[in-house]
């Protein structure tokens, strides 16, 4: 579904908060009924970590120093049902002097200092 014709997801469809000025980039199949949703912003990595820590009422974890990557898990990871823990991952794309994450949308380049990855839990499976 990463063909540029995707419908922009909302907080209601994802069940996760989306930073107000974040721009939807694309989504990818994560397997087991889950998708990764990528959003870009020119707000700093530190600002995004503070925002999500406040909104999610959780500290999260800095999982990489370089490039800085911070994860907030928002649900229990069930290995037998999920490909990835539900949550929010914030990554600094300006690390090591980079201009940011390059995204071509409609032929126009856009650079994002920070990328936010949202992974909602998979849809509830009906028990038989």
Residue 99's CB is within 10 A of a number of other CB atoms, namely: 11
* pLDDT for 41: 96
Using a pLDDT cut of 90, give the percent of the chain over it.
65
In this predicted model, which residue has the larger pLDDT, 122 or 47? 47
CB of 82 closer than 8 Å to CB of 73: no
Write out pLDDT tens, residues 54-106.
999 999 999 999 999 999 998 776 777 777 788 999 999 999 999 999 998 77
* pLDDT for 30: 84
In this predicted model, which residue has the larger pLDDT, 30 or 53? 53
Quote the longest CA-to-CA distance of the chain: 54
């Amino acid at each position: 579904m990463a063909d540029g014709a995707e419908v922009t997801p909302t907080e209601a469809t994802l069940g996760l908060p989306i930073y107000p000025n974040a721009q939807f980039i694309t989504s990818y199949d994560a397997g087991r009924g889950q998708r990764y949703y990528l959003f870009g912003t020119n707000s700093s990595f530190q600002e995004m970590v503070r925002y999500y820590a406040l909104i999610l009422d959780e500290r999260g974890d800095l999982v990489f120093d370089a490039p800085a990557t911070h994860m907030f898990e928002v649900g229990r990871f069930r290995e037998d049902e999920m490909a990835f823990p539900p949550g929010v991952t914030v990554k600094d794309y300006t690390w090591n002097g980079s201009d940011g994450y390059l995204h071509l949308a409609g032929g126009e380049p856009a650079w994002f200092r920070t990328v936010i990855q949202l992974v909602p839990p998979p849809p509830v499976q009906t028990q038989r």
